[in-house]
A = this chain, B = another copy of it.
Amino acid sequence: MSENSCNTKPTNDCEKCGQKMTNAICSTAPEVWKLLDQVKQKNIFKAHQVIFYQDNEPMGLYIISSGLVKLEVTSESGQNHTLRYLGPGSALGYRSLFAHEKYQASAIAIEKTEVCFIPKNTVMEIFQQYPTAALKILESLSKDLRLADEKWTSQMDKDASERIAEALIFLQDHFEHQNWTRKEIAEWAGTTPETVIRTLAQFEADGYIDQSQGRAIRLVNKQKLIEKLTLDR
């Protein structure tokens, strides 16, 4: 709990935060930082801990200071699907807040993750006062929506191995995290762990990746993998 001596108090300084310019809320204006410092609640979650649960009522939103979070839906049949991964600087839980709906997914820390919780009324006040903040969050919601639409269409247009290839590239491009499990890739790519394992074996045989060091997946020839994706079509 105290490995980071600067961040243990809930009222530490937004001005000193490395994420203060990475999202719509925190980058609004310097005068907002004082407000946020008063109301925000900083928390640390260990790997596999749940930040919020599907079907619960949102009471604010979270900003991720460090770490990695997945948004996971569990269907009635018990299958898990990963909607999005969120890294440092990202806002978390805002879709349900703005839609006035319950959380549609659970937010689970993949690795040790630090978040700032900002209460609902503070969030709304900021958007009332700073229209540019609203336009910025509109932008990121709009991009999320495009990614969600693409997820559905590629579920139909692309076969499992193409989706897995795209997952490898996307996850490597967007996150520091290295230790993706076959199950995590499957739940993100819309397939099963077995299919991921078989496909990775093929990718290794084709010289795209290397799996000889433990469970790690090293992209040996990312460029060739990208070309394969475009040439296939």
Give me the interface of A with B, judged by CB distance under 8 Å: 73, 75-77, 79, 81, 83, 94-101, 104-105, 124, 127-129, 131-132, 134-135, 137-139, 141-146, 148-153, 155-157, 190, 233
Report how many copies the assembly holds: 2
* Nearest CB of chain B from residue A32's CB, rounded to whole Å: 14
Assembly CA distance A76 to B153 (angstroms): 11
A153 B73 Cβ-Cβ under 8 A: yes
Can you name 21 A-B residue pairings with CB atoms under 8 Å?
Answer: A75-B157, A77-B157, A79-B157, A81-B153, A83-B149, A97-B142, A99-B139, A99-B145, A100-B139, A101-B142, A104-B146, A104-B150, A124-B135, A127-B135, A128-B131, A129-B131, A137-B138, A141-B141, A148-B151, A152-B152, A155-B155
| Minimal Cβ-Cβ distance residue in B for A94 | B142
* Nearest CB of chain B from residue A81's CB, rounded to whole Å: 5
A143 B75 Cβ-Cβ under 8 A: no
B100 A156 Cβ-Cβ under 8 A: no
Assembly CA distance A174 to B187 (angstroms): 31
B131 A141 Cβ-Cβ under 8 A: no
| Minimal Cβ-Cβ distance residue in B for A128 | B131
Q: Interface majority SS on A: helix, strand, loop or mixed?
A: helix
Assembly CA distance A56 to B181 (angstroms): 39
Assembly CA distance A108 to B10 (angstroms): 51
Q: Which residues of B contact A155 (CB under 8 A)?
A: 152, 155-156, 190
Assembly CA distance A129 to B131 (angstroms): 7
- If A75-B157, A152-B151, A156-B79 touch, whether A145 touches B134 (CB-CB below 8 Å) is no
Q: Which residues of B contact A99 (CB under 8 A)?
A: 139, 142-143, 145-146
* Nearest CB of chain B from residue A167's CB, rounded to whole Å: 14
* Nearest CB of chain B from residue A120's CB, rounded to whole Å: 12
